[in-house]
A and B are shown apart, each in its own frame.
Chain A
């Protein structure tokens, strides 16, 4: 165990997509109890610096492990299938069609009810994509296939953020 260990090793959990959120939360707090700079406030600069490095590293790992999208992306990367969202935007035509429909619906949304309906729809799409991710990673070890699902999940996440923005604009 050291600063170079991967997130799963650091948290002492198996290398897989399916994770128990309660275990991750408890581990995070156990680790921060050991490493947080506040524990070393009276112990000099060297101990403070080390604690800071560890505490940052633990938070980084927790951020990645607790978020299913980031966790899936991380597993793909560890297994040689990087997501490359910046330069790989080729998506299936059906998916792009649905995205366009969503965008139109968002532009036309008048109030909370419209936004709630869109929210439900994106949530359902997200859950379905996550289930496929779990299957591709944990059962089939199909990393390239999982990376494709991660890219579509990133589209969905961006759209969910836009719904939130629109909600704020409408003063909901």
Chain B
């Protein structure tokens, strides 16, 4: 017989109190999901006890698909339909992918939203859809593990991901039916896991070499605050490139070439196996069957180090730049945390140790540390850890700028600025009666538009007609805590808010996402409308609870009339919830309550800030 649970007075277990939130490391090679269970963050295994899910999806005609281990095993069997390392394609056009001709895929250069796509037996797939399959698989794993729906997820991205790559990841979460709590940077997540585990304080560097991306972050850790001082990297440098360099070298030595998709896939896998074996032994045979004939070629560890030295150097150049941006000298760095499976390569470890002048810290599993850190952040964002005082202050990795006359870039937000941030810029019209304005936003460090990455074109409409040069249009660029850009615009003299059309250079539109959702995606089995109602109810519940606790804490800020208005809005929302059969009514009542409590929220924040500074002024004067 189950024992009755008795809780302390005032601490009754409210079903809303404990929300299941997970951290997901959506990796190039492997993906993982972790969660805080009874106070301990751990990676969740699948039914066979494996925590790593290979980031591979195999598509079949007729809509079936394999995700993970089964798909990974079929890479040489059915290379064109078995998609691996799609993280490298997120938010990218075909021209961006160096060496794509060596990959066994049937690329579609102009896929949905300017991004490349892949033609498979199940039709043309965007990298966003493939990533969503992986996310959905991890979501189901977590739901099975807890036997419950998931409240939300924190998903990690390389710190050096630009806006388009972040947005693509966010879209994948949406397709997978995940409530995205935050995107956080992989090195920052690793720092959380490492820092909290070791009670570390001071300046640390995180060197994160994954399957397809490289990040270096310099952080200052103080009493639960993880402040990123600078970040750098290369979103197209990873273990895959080491494999490719090794394969090219071996084929070159043997005077061979891989031409068919099967051969290309075979060579890639043989190179990876050889690389992994070299971690433990000095000499390994690179063996594969190519064009029906077996090849075997002995590779020394030193050969491998030589043919990949340029790649390792590229990572150290990025590390040097990050230190310079942080205005930190190497001696100030107290420790270097190694993250990502590719940091197992001996030549990488040696190079990092030599560069920083100290042995890198490797006491956490480099494959799991990112997911673990993300789960700790997810648990706190879900409100499960009221006493938690974890605070992440991250930065934007690449500068944002606007195209100006002559193809030059005017910088708006500089790289390594702490986010969230906002910058305003004033524009005027150059023709009488002009009512629209076009802006081109780019990301990168170069002075010419053509050398930066095009993010999006914004068209502002509805500017009141005035004489040329009379309008004062203030455009505000906001970068939120996820590192994502938002743009709003207002004509200052009339106060008219301009409407904005966004045309992302590499990204999916809302329509395209809606289409993919309907098109038989992971969530297609579910009735869309039922799902919308469930989501609306969750949002409404969340807001009611938050409002009630705000009233309990700071209700004295409201006059009796204001209090009555808030109470009425809450009652209206409860009524809508009781009656509701459609999502729209619940959503309307939810947003009415949100609007009606905005002034109250602002007052509460003012009080919080005042309290934060209270008693501190006297000492400093």
Contact = CB atoms under 8 A, between A and B. Distances in A.
Q: Do A and B come from one complex?
A: yes
Interface of A: 1-2, 10-14, 20, 23, 27, 29-38, 41-47, 49-52, 54-56, 59-60, 62-63, 164, 168, 171
Interface in B590-621: 591, 593-595, 597-598, 600-602, 604-606, 608-613, 616-617, 620-621
Contacts of A47: 546, 550, 597, 601, 604
25 contacts: A1-B613, A10-B609, A12-B613, A12-B616, A12-B617, A13-B620, A20-B620, A27-B613, A27-B616, A32-B393, A34-B612, A36-B481, A37-B420, A41-B182, A42-B382, A45-B594, A46-B600, A46-B601, A47-B601, A50-B598, A50-B601, A52-B420, A56-B420, A59-B420, A62-B418
A95 B594 CA distance: 57
B422 interface: yes
Residues of B contacting A: mostly: helix
Contacts of B547: 44
A29 B224 CA distance: 10
B391 A41 contact: no
Contacts of B478: 52, 56
A41 B383 contact: yes
A31 B391 contact: no
B144 interface: no
A14 B621 CA distance: 7
Contact of B480 (A1, A42, A52, A54): A52
Considering the complex of A and B, which 4 residue pairs feature the smallest CB-CB distances, nearest first?
A43-B546, A42-B383, A41-B381, A44-B543
A38 B182 contact: yes
Contacts of B616: 12, 27, 30
A2 B546 contact: no
A12 B619 CA distance: 10
B100 to A, nearest CB: 28
A23 B543 CA distance: 36
Contact of A54 (B181, B222, B605): B605
B392 interface: yes
A50 to B, nearest CB: 5
A27 B481 CA distance: 20
B417 A63 contact: yes
Contacts of A20: 620
A83 B564 CA distance: 50
B389 interface: yes
Given A46-B597, A50-B602, A52-B480, A60 B391 contact: no
A46 B605 contact: no
B225 interface: yes
Contact of A168 (B182, B321, B613): B321
Contacts of A45: 543, 591, 594
Given A10-B609, A12-B620, A38-B381, 17 more contacts: A29-B222, A29-B393, A30-B616, A33-B389, A33-B391, A34-B611, A34-B612, A37-B481, A38-B377, A38-B392, A38-B481, A41-B182, A41-B382, A45-B594, A46-B595, A47-B550, A54-B609
Interface string B410-442: 000000011111100000000000000000000
Contacts of A56: 420-422, 478
A113 to B, nearest CB: 17
Contacts of B531: none
Nearest to B378: A41
Nearest to B317: A171
B403 interface: no
Nearest to B615: A12
Nearest to A43: B546
Nearest to B546: A43
Contacts of A49: 598, 601
Contacts of B18: none
B609 A41 contact: no
A16 to B, nearest CB: 11
Given A12-B617, A52-B420, A30 B606 contact: no
A55 B514 CA distance: 32
Contacts of B383: 41-42
B542 interface: yes
B227 interface: yes
B418 A29 contact: no
Contacts of B259: none
Given A12-B613, A50-B602, A50-B605, A41 B181 contact: yes
A159 to B, nearest CB: 16
A57 B616 CA distance: 20
A63 B417 CA distance: 8
Interface in B511-551: 542-543, 546-547, 550
Interface in B12-70: 19
Nearest to A1: B610
B324 interface: yes
Nearest to A30: B612
Contacts of A54: 605, 609
Contacts of B481: 36-38, 55
Residue from A32, A41, A164 having most chain B Cβ neighbours under 10 A: A41
B185 to A, nearest CB: 14
Contacts of A27: 613, 616
A31 B612 contact: yes
A50 B324 CA distance: 34
B620 to A, nearest CB: 6
Nearest to A19: B620
A37 B484 CA distance: 14
Contacts of A10: 609
B382 A46 contact: no
Interface in B222-236: 222, 225, 227
Given A41-B383, A46-B601, A62-B418, A164 B480 contact: no
A42 B381 contact: yes
A32 B617 CA distance: 17
A48 B118 CA distance: 38
Nearest to A44: B543
A168 B591 CA distance: 51
Contacts of B594: 44-46
Nearest to B543: A44
Contacts of B225: 29, 33
B481 to A, nearest CB: 5
B608 A35 contact: yes
B375 to A, nearest CB: 15
A152 to B, nearest CB: 21
B266 to A, nearest CB: 37
B542 A42 contact: yes
Nearest to A54: B605
